[in-house]
Structures are given as structure tokens and as C-alpha cells.
Amino acid sequence: MKTIIKIKGMTCGGCRLSAENALKRVPGVNFAEVSLERAEASVEFDENKAALKDLKAAVVKAGFSAE
């Protein structure tokens, strides 16, 4: 399924990449793209392998807050 996650706390391209890579590393994620300007991530994932809370947890672990 596809989802949009709002991310707070990103200030530069490095932050954007950290958040994006954190999402890509979650097992079951097929696609992740983070926009610094929109402060959000577009994620496509296999709901049998990953849950929305796992995606948010990965963003939080990378140092940002996710909604």
C-alpha cells in the first residue's frame, strides 16, 4: 500500500537522506521518497511485511518526528 508520512525536524538535504534511507531499510518497503520542502515521505510498502508504525518508528529512530 501507499502512504504519506509527515516528518518534522528535517533542516537540510542530509536530514532528508537520513530519513529516506531509514525508511528504505525497513523490511517490506518497496519505495520511499522524502521531500524536504513538503516535510513528508511517500512510501510504498507491503502491508504483510511492514506496518505503518514500523515506518514511523524508523523515522523517529533516525532523529525526526513522524505523524
Residues interacting with Cu ion, by CB under 5 A? 11-12, 14-15
Helix (H, G, I), strand (E, B) or coil at 21: helix
User: In whole angstroms, how close is the CB of 14 to Cu ion at the nearest point?
Assistant: 4
Distance (Å, rounded) from C-alpha 25 to C-alpha 67?
Answer: 19
- Residue with Cβ nearer Cu ion (32 or 50): 32
User: In whole angstroms, how close is the CB of 47 to Cu ion at the nearest point?
Assistant: 30
User: In whole angstroms, how close is the CB of 55 to Cu ion at the nearest point?
Assistant: 20
* R_g of the chain, CA atoms, integer Å: 10
